[in-house]
Structure 1
């Protein structure tokens, strides 16, 4: 004496599983409830929080009484329910329409009071405030509930369970030989889901849990840039509308295997991906949404030299007043949109573009004023090499 005493911390009930973070639509979600020898009724409830944000859907609230269910069975059910409803609405200072469907149910011999808490448009307090008031009353043993014989009922501290305003999802629990439980559910809609797990009517550690259900089939990529040029910032769009709210991963790999730096503009469900390639050749666009590779990826993207398109000819440098002038544009068989704009100090000059072959275009214009004119040539909304050009328009007849 004295004798050493080793105190081992009791392991708490907890949950694990990949579906506790995110889950693909229509996939089977599997989670494990680790009980570590703890005894008590294990229950799991799952709700889709992305539906039911309306005033016509209630929020389930429940708490446990210290008195056993057997002690309360002696009272007529309807009288007891009405009495508790009136007492709760009075203490929480609510209109009676907000507390509905109150019941007293039995779980492992315990008496559980549960009801649906509704919100009414433009009426305070909101559900969140009501729940906080009720929690404080229960935890401080200040809630005044009585049975029909006017005996005080006692709510157990920490037993308050808050259900979400959402759609209930079917979940199955399977007991395991070591005392754990395996839970399974299959989501049919995208959105945020809530998983409530209780042991002996008390929420387990970190309950409730939240998971995001997503659908990679709803991820739409495009349109891709018509002509991706080296050394120039390019932009592509990824539409996540109706796909869910999970991380988006985009990787663009160059021909040498280097990842191209990217920047993603986070604009609601439409993501704009900006990237500036430093190599020519085939690049690969890889997109991952949640835990899944987006179908159809990787996508091949050809990066060309920005200076491959060129313009040449007399008309690019000089022209004669009110005389037809021409110049050529070499596209090297590239596909894209050509835009040619010619402006003088006081005029916008009309142009005619004729295709000579798959890679050569002829531009014709007639200047209407003497002086300098500006020739802008864009390919897929980007200036080609040396654009804009400056040409001089002269009138030989006015030279003496």
Structure 2
């Protein structure tokens, strides 16, 4: 299909022709002067994609095996040689559930991805560029346990077996002797929905878990440190 070019004089018998290809692949350019082809016309050119996902480079600790569970990690996406598009990242935990991640544009052709793997096991990281998987994507990374959860101790109002609807409760996790790691927690109702919780690192070797039950019924509490179960950290409140 023919596409006309825009032609403008530049002076001294020189002309500039401009055109915008709409599709990638082979194109033929015909240049005529006084209705006759100029020397070597037609010209055959190959139009490349506006972006090349195979030229995206992904590196950093967040895509390597041996990531410590419960601790924040990151990796970098380098798109400098890949054309103008946007990266897209999705991360799934060993249960196939999407993990929250943060994509930061460094404004220099690179991006930083931050996420926190709470559970031990295999994580699947998909990195797309312009909707197409980049080289080596998806990344299959193994998250390892860290610290010693047997040295953790629980206390606070949130450990009581009986709780009141609408009241906030606190679970304090003492991790002084547990080594490197962080506390993670999930509180699930009998209906199968997860309760919104807040986990605060007090930066003194303890963590506070805050939760407020909004409906009557049983709630299953599971507390981990470094991706491993804390003794006494699997209980039911009503």
TM-score between the two structures when normalised by the length of structure 1: 0.29
**Larger radius of gyration between Structure 1 and Structure 2:** 1
- The structure with the largest helix share of the pair is 1
